[in-house]
């Protein structure tokens, strides 16, 4: 090697190094390591291991944006991604069932295309914190490169930051589409922010994350009391987000084009409201009317929930008559009375006569839990 703990892929001079060798070198050293790329040539470079890559045992950052010609997305969330990626990990030649990255320590994975692996693209089974930004997982942006699943964060994972709300974050969200199973399975605390899930790079054309014979939620969250799903696009599965035994804040997402529910809380299927939430799941608001008045639409609704408690109600243009929020259009902060009831009337823009409106409610305080979408009501 040219220097301690370094290796390169130059075709002339020095000692060459593969991604496998770089991961082995990282595991053999203490402290946080950085794996960058500088492979000659302007094309997309394909790394196709014949055997599983070594698991990540020591903190490391693998940064595909370091490859010359790669560029992080610079467009506003919801616009087609401008991301240019130059490093692709391909599992088509892999002998045995394995994920691209098996993570048992702290790790950041940025700016990679990860496809065709017989396991997950990223699987975290240790106690570390993981951060994923600007990756294309299960797709190159236009065509599917299906992994068995997208991202798995196990119950011992300290935290998962899949994407970012920070506008200055390199790459910010990920594109996760075309996988055979869920885009994200999260069993520990974490956040999903500014990701495109179940679409191509435009954010509009569907690219499902599950086969019809294996219906799932695009995002599946369980066994955690601290998860935040904010400002994502979620499409192309049976359910958009499935939160089973979990307390999850879901806010300002665009959820559309799923065949069943946008948000499935608790047991599979619509979880009906009950008096003061005796079943332990947040009730959804009930919209009683939506009437266009000039440039505004007046939405009238009520919430039956816990007594003398504060809630954030979000209003969406629904994806037709389905319980999915196609476009976020407003927010109302309410407080229930001693009987557990709150009524509100709100004027919003972004709804035309004949379109549909739906709502969610999120409890305030330390434990934040979001309801399923309410039954849509047509604007008159």
- Residues 31-75: pLDDT tens digits? 999 999 999 999 999 999 999 999 999 999 999 999 999 999 999
> What pTM was computed for the model?
0.94
> Which stretches of the chain are DSSP H helices?
19-27
- Residues 193-221: pLDDT tens digits? 999 999 999 999 999 987 655 557 899 99
* Residue 183: CB atoms within 10 Å: 35
Contact assessment for residue 205 and residue 221, using Cβ atoms and an 8 Å cutoff: no
- Residues 118-166: pLDDT tens digits? 999 999 999 999 999 999 999 999 999 999 999 999 999 999 999 998 8
Alpha-carbon gap, residue 139 to 119, rounded angstroms: 15
Residue 108 φ then ψ, to 5°: -120, 130
Alpha-carbon gap, residue 25 to 115, rounded angstroms: 24
Chain centroid offset of residue 244 CA: 16
Strand pairing partners for 153?
Answer: 124, 186
Contact assessment for residue 65 and residue 74, using Cβ atoms and an 8 Å cutoff: no
What's the mean pLDDT in 302-324?
Answer: 96
| Residue 205 CB contacts under 8 Å (≥ 6 apart), including other chains | 199
């Amino acid at each position: 090697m040219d220097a301690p703990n370094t290796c390169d892929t130059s075709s002339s001079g020095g000692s060459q190094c593969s991604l496998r060798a770089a991961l082995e070198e990282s595991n053999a050293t203490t402290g946080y390591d950085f794996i960058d790329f500088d492979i000659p040539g302007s094309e997309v470079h394909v790394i196709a291991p014949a055997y599983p890559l070594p698991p990540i045992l020591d903190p490391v950052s693998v940064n595909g944006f370091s490859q010359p010609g790669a560029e992080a997305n610079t467009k506003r969330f919801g616009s087609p991604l401008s991301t240019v990626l130059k490093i692709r990990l391909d599992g088509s030649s892999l002998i045995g069932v394995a994920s691209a990255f098996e993570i048992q320590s702290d790790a950041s994975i940025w700016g990679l295309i990860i496809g065709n692996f017989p396991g997950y693209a990223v699987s975290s089974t240790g106690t570390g914190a993981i951060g994923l930004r600007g990756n294309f997982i299960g797709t190159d942006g236009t065509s599917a490169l299906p992994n068995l699943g997208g991202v798995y964060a196990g119950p011992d994972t300290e935290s998962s930051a899949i994407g970012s709300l920070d506008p200055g974050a390199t790459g910010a969200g990920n594109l996760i589409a075309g996988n055979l199973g869920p885009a994200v399975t999260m069993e520990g605390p974490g956040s999903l922010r500014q990701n495109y899930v179940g679409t191509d790079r435009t954010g509009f054309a569907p690219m499902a994350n599950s086969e019809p014979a294996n219906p799932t939620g695009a995002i599946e969250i369980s066994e955690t009391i601290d998860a935040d799903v904010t400002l994502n696009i979620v499409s192309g599965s049976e359910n958009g987000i499935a939160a089973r035994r979990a307390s999850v804040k879901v806010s300002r997402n665009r959820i559309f084009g799923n065949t069943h529910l946008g948000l499935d809380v608790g047991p599979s299927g619509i979880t009906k409201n009950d008096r003061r939430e005796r079943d332990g799941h947040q009730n959804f608001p009930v919209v009683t009317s939506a009437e266009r008045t000039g440039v505004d639409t007046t939405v009238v609704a009520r919430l039956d929930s816990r007594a003398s408690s504060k809630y954030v109600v979000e209003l969406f243009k629904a994806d037709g008559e389905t319980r999915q929020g196609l476009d976020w259009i407003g927010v109302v902060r309410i407080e229930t009375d001693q009987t557990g009831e709150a009524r509100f009337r709100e004027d919003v823009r972004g709804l035309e006569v004949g379109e549909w409106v739906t709502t969610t409610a999120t409890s305030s305080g330390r434990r934040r839990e979001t309801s399923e979408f309410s039954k849509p009501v047509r604007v008159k």
